[in-house]
Each structure stands twice: as C-alpha cells, then as structure tokens.
Structure 1
Amino acid sequence: MSEKIAVLFGGNSQEREISLKSGKAILNALLKLGINAIGIDPINFPLLYLKKYGFTKIFISIHGKGGEDGTLQGILEYLNIPYTGSGVLSSAITMNKFITKTIWKSHGLPVYPHFLLTKQEFIKSNYLKIKKRILKLTLPIFIKPNCSGSSLGIFKVNHMDDIFNVIEKSFVYSNDILIEKYIKGIEYTVGILNKEILPPIRIEYINSFYNYQAKYYLNSTKYFCPSGLSKKKEKELSNIVLHAWNSVKCTGWGRIDVILDNYNNFQLLEINTVPGMTSHSLYPIAAKKAGLSFYDLIIKILNIT
C-alpha cells in the first residue's frame, strides 16, 4: 500500500496561527519530496474520517491544546494510525508544566522553586495566604498559564502591587497557573531527534524575557548555534536534557528549554513535544547545524517509529 500522509495543522488552540505556518512548511517539504501528503485542519475535517480516507501516517503539527496534550494522540491510537512525536501519556504530562516539573524534581533534576494556583483556589482563597507563598519565592516572579505554550499569557512581576491583576490576566489562558521564581540567566533551547541531542541554541532577546513577540515577530531576537558553551558545559547540558526527556517518556522529536543561571547552574524550564517549524523556529536551525536540511529533517521525523 502506498503512503498517504496527513499533515494536521491549525486546530483551535491559542497557538493556531503558528501551527498553520509550521504545518504549511512541513506540507510543502513533503510535496516537494514527491510524497503523497494532504494538509488537514481539524476545524474543517472530522478526525474520525482519517481512516476512511486511507491515511497511513499522520504528521502532527498542531501546537498547544488539542495537538500536544494527548487528545489527538488518543484519537489516532483509537484509529490505529501511526503518528509523529510523543504518545498519549507523555504528551498529556508535558503539556502540564507543574506535573512535568514535579516528575523532574523527583528525578533529582534542576527546577527552580514554584507552586501551582488554581482558579478555584484563587477565588476562594485568602489573598494574604497567596501573598505569603509568593513572598517566599521572593520577587521578581513569573506567572505562567500551566497548560499553554508559545509564551502566551506569561508575565514577569516585579512589584507586589501588580500581582493579583496579573494573576487574573493569566487565568484567561488556563484554569491553573504556575507561579515561579524568576531566574536571571542565559536561555538555551535543545532539540531532541530520535534520542539524539541536536546542537544547543543560545537565545538573546531585548525584552525582559523571551515572550511571544520575541519568539515570533521581533528581528532583534538573536540565536547562536554553536551556543558558545564550553565542551564540558555542553556535555552537562546534554545529559540533563536527555534525562529530562526520558523521565517523562517522550519519543520522536521535541525541544527542551533551559536557563543557565548566574551561579552557572542549568535550570529546566519546559518541554515542547511539537516544536514550531516556521521560518523563525529554532528546531530546524539546530537540525541544520547537525547537517540536516529541512527536507532531511521532515523525512527523519516522519520515519521515526
């Protein structure tokens, strides 16, 4: 039976716009390689029909909710159609920053102090109690939606007066938020491809942190690959990243964001199981440094079993 690939992109998460760009880049590459591929946006196509239309493999390029959280993976398992990337459980775990960090911590991996705050807790709770927990972390802090990506709804807070206003804003993106100690340092991102570590990328940005604008739109954001780390430090980073990847049972391809703090220690930030593949995306940059063209990369991801 000849191959028939569906590239799934778009969806209805807050990262739809980036997913459309990623998916179209993947689809164009597959078509140029002469592969029978069709782009599908689940908004316009019932996924249960994928089997009926004879698709033999799915290339997942939906970021965030509905693409990276195990939902889509569960549907494809039910349909018995192979797909790219991590499975149901690891996708569900890594979409949840708090659970991911809890697992990492239990494996002795480096994560900065943080706590989870649910919308219900926030409504019912005594503000003084929340304030105390925040002051334990010491300002500045980061407030992040617990289950969303692309730096959407992330705020850096320097003053106690702004805390509750910012918490409310962050709850627009998720019913749980992560309140985390701010880490000053240098940010790196490390790609994983079929259990191999891709060359790390150092990220430099002019904003107060690496936010949505800095990620996708600002030309002032700079990426360095090679990263400039010493061989010893790069080896240390690779070991941490591989351990972090394996501890949450991820497979196929993905990316882990890390920060090197001012004490020269790496701290794990988060994991991305469907990295962006746009012209601004970091994963293809790292792959290129490892000697893989965009076409090579797409084929490799597609063929990982």
Structure 2
Amino acid sequence: MTDSPARKTRVALIFGGRSGEHSISAATAAGVMKAIDREAYDVLPIGISREGEWVLASGDGSQWQLGGASLPEITTESGTAIESLAEAGPVDVVFPLLHGPYGEDGTIQGLLELAGVPYVGAGVLASAVGMDKQYMKLVFAGHGLPVAPYVVVKPREWEQRPSRVIDRVQAELVFPVFVKPARAGSSLGVTRVDDLTGLADAIEEARYHDPKVLVEQGVDGREIECAVLGGRGGAAPRASVPGEIVVDHDADVFYDFDAKYAASSTARTEAPADLPDDVAERVRELAVEAFEAIGAEGLSRVDVFVTSAGDVILNEINTMPGFTPISMYSKMWEATGVPYTELVSELIELARERPTGLR
C-alpha cells in the first residue's frame, strides 16, 4: 500500500472590494496568481465587487492586470456568486489582497479571526491603526517616532465651522501642505496646496473619499520607502533595502494616483535608493520601529521623508501595500535578495505558523 501524496495548502486570495482601490487590489491578485508556487499551493481566487458581492472567480488573473484601456473590475460576471467563504470549501489560509477601507482596515481581519482562519498580514488593531492616518500618527508619536505636523479635519467641524479649520491650518502649518483622506491609499484624493486659496477645494476633494481629512505639513525632502517582513518563529521583523520612486516631472508634481498607475506615467522605481549608508540604515531601523509600534504582522511598507540634512521623518505605514511584481514592496525585496515567488510563499508560511485569536 502506497502513501497518498500530501495535500497542498489551499490558499484563498480575496481581492477587489468596496474601496476606491478596487482595481489596484485586482491587479495585485493577478500578480500573485501568476507567481504563486502551484507545486505547494492550491489557489482559490475570490473577488469582491464594488457592491460587496462575493464571486468565486474564474480565469488565471491575466484579465485583471494593469495596462489596458481601462482599470480592472470585479463583477458578478467574473465567476460564480457565493454567499460566504464557507461555500468555497475548506481553506487553510487566506491572503487578503484588499487595499483601503473594507479590507485593509481590520474589517476582514475581524471576520477571519471570528472564523478561526489563518491569514496573511496585520491583525485587527494594527490594520485599523495603519489605515487611519490620524491614529497612526498618534501611535508613532507616542512611541517617540518622528512625524511631520498635521491638522485633523473632522466632519462636523468642517460642516459647521469651516473658517475655524482654515484658521487652524494657517496658524499651525506652513505652506505647502498636503490634504488627504484620513483612511484611503494609492494617493486617492490627495492634493498639494500652496496657499490658502486652494485649501477649501482640496478638503472637499479629500472628503469625497473620506469624511475625515488630514492636512499635513509638506516636508522638503525625498520620499523614500522601505519594505518590512515579519520574522519566523518569533524572530524580529526584517527590513529590505530602501527604495525611491522618482517622478520625471516638474518638482511641484507629486506621486499621485496617475503617476503610480497611468500608462503614460514617467515615474520610475529605484531600489536600492541612492542614500548614504548611515541614512539607509536609519530608514531601515525606523521602518521596523514603525512596524512594531502599531503591532503589525506579516508585511508592511513604510514611507518616510529624508531631508537634505539626512533627517528621517515618518510619513505612513501601509499594512497591505501594493503587491504586484512591479510594486515597490516586491521590488525592494527583490533588490534585497528575495524574489517575488519566494516572497509570496514566505508570507503564506508566516500566516500558517501564526495562531488566530489573542497573541
């Protein structure tokens, strides 16, 4: 009698979702589906439409890659509609490739915790803190980490006393400032404002994506990123070499949604970034400190500013960063010696060794 072969680990990729980053999430799933080690893992692709409908997706994911005439979209025509994860059959680990609200913010993490299903990435609290830039900065500052000045614009205050908001920004910050939704990513709704005349319109633009808004002090420095990966068996998190996205435009143009994803974008990535050794090491140290400050797990991308004096200031942490083969997170690890397929496998194995529940 021969032994039956060991069953492959069944991995559910959940992507799409109800946030403004729906299409980027689908593109991330396309990259993972193409690269995942099929000798080790069975893949179960589950898309979520913008209306919140769950679909057992068909195809190899190529239909969701970026670069076509339009951004990819998950609809009920993308596969077979299902009512719950249970309808998809047994799952060993979930890889939630969701960006933004309703996925990256602790919501699906809470669902998976309740179901007792292992999953890739940060837990409920870390996901929620990482998604909300106000509380992210409060946690960073509470751990003594450097952050730039900012003003929080809450819905009631803006709707009832907008002049008070304008006065606070003028009193506490120096132009230029960046106005952004408090709980969104991919630079959606972000506007650079150089004087008071554009501030109100910029706040309204950000409020289209989130009723709570942050106005952040502009920092005169380079935007540098660093990828963090959880450690195995209780080991410390690991940081990649830093990377930099260089936008070949006028200096006043920042790295917005179009610069990231438009086919005509002239932005390019450099990994490793051209930094002095001591500054690069400080970026890596600060990235790990930010990761641990919010209690992140699995993966995160930490974005910082490096000033001309060599000071490093935290901008934000992304607990489920863009994860296509050409995303900065993947490219920084590739430059550090961890290729994309190996990175996907490492994240799945990190999730498998971590229990759900309190830890």
Q: Using structure 1 for the length normalisation, give the TM-score.
A: 0.95
1:134 pairs with one of 158, 169, 180 = 169
Q: Is the 8 A contact 2:98 2:104 kept in 1?
A: yes
2:216 is the counterpart of 1:171 = no
- 1:235 counterpart SS class: helix
Structure possessing the higher radius of gyration over alpha carbons: 2
- 2:16 counterpart SS class: coil
Matched residue, 1:75:
111
Bigger mean CA offset, 226-235 vs 139-148: 226-235
Separation in structure 1 between the aligned mates of residue 348 and residue 229 of structure 2, nearest angstrom: 11
User: What RMSD over aligned residues (CA atoms) do the two structures have, in Å?
Assistant: 1.7
Cα displacement (A) at 1:278: 2.3
1:294 pairs with one of 340, 343, 350 = 340
Cα displacement (A) at 1:52: 6.5
Separation in structure 2 between the aligned mates of residue 84 and residue 162 of structure 1, nearest angstrom: 41
Cα displacement (A) at 1:264: 2.5
Matched residue, 1:278:
324
Separation in structure 1 between the aligned mates of residue 144 and residue 31 of structure 2, nearest angstrom: 38
2:28 is the counterpart of 1:22 = yes
Mark the CA change 1:34 to 1:250 in structure 2 (over 3 Å): closer, same or farther.
Answer: closer
The alignment covers a number of residue pairs equal to 304
Cα displacement (A) at 1:171: 0.4
Equivalences for residues 143-222 of structure 1 within 5 A: 143-194=179-230, 195-205=237-247, 206=249, 208-217=253-262, 218-222=264-268
Cα displacement (A) at 1:131: 2.0
State, as a whole percentage, how many aligned pairs show the same letter.
Answer: 28
Equivalences for residues 246-285 of structure 1 within 5 A: 246-285=292-331
Bigger mean CA offset, 209-218 vs 241-250: 209-218
Separation in structure 2 between the aligned mates of residue 169 and residue 104 of structure 1, nearest angstrom: 27
2:42 is the counterpart of 1:7 = no
- Which stretches in structure 2 are left out of the alignment for 5+ residues? 1-6, 56-81, 231-236, 354-359
Cα displacement (A) at 1:274: 0.9
- 2:201 counterpart SS class: helix
Cα displacement (A) at 1:96: 0.2
Bigger mean CA offset, 279-288 vs 190-199: 279-288
2:240 is the counterpart of 1:230 = no
Q: Using structure 2 for the length normalisation, give the TM-score.
A: 0.81
Cα displacement (A) at 1:30: 2.3
Matched residue, 1:124:
160
* Deviation readout 1:49-100 (Å, 9 max, x if unpaired): 3376111110111111111100000000111110000001100111000100
* Deviation readout 1:230-256 (Å, 9 max, x if unpaired): 111111111111111101000111101
Separation in structure 2 between the aligned mates of residue 3 and residue 202 of structure 1, nearest angstrom: 35
Cα displacement (A) at 1:117: 0.5
2:54 is the counterpart of 1:44 = yes
- 1:189 counterpart SS class: strand
